[in-house]
Amino acid sequence: MGPFKHVLALIEGHRFHHLKWAGVGDVNFGLFTLLWDHLLRTHSYDRTRRFTSDDLGMAAKPDYPDAYLAQLAEPFRRSRTG
C-alpha cells in the first residue's frame, strides 16, 4: 500500500490498536483514516514489529471471548464482578 499505510486505517497499521498492553495498544483509533491519529499524536507504526495472536486482546479483560458471536454478545452480558 506504500505511503497510504500511514493515512488509511488498513490492517497493517490498525493491528497496533489491538495490542493488549495499555499504553502500547492505545493508538491508531481511526476506522477509515489515520488522519485524526496523526493530528492527535495517537498514530504508531513500526514496520519491523511482528505480532502473534497472544499479543492481541484486551488487558483489562483477559477472559474476553475469542469467538465472533461471543464477542458480539459480550456487551450485553452482566458484569462478572460485584
Domain ranges of the chain: 2-76
The torsion of the CA quartet 30, 79, 75, 24, rounded to 10 degrees, works out to: 20
Write the pLDDT tens digit of every residue in 6-62. Answer: 778 777 777 777 777 767 677 878 778 888 888 988 888 777 878 777 777 777 777
Backbone φ and ψ of 39, nearest 5°: -65, -40
pTM equals: 0.52
pLDDT confidence of residue 73:
92
Number of Cβ atoms within 10 Å of the Cβ of 39: 9
Number of Cβ atoms within 10 Å of the Cβ of 13: 23
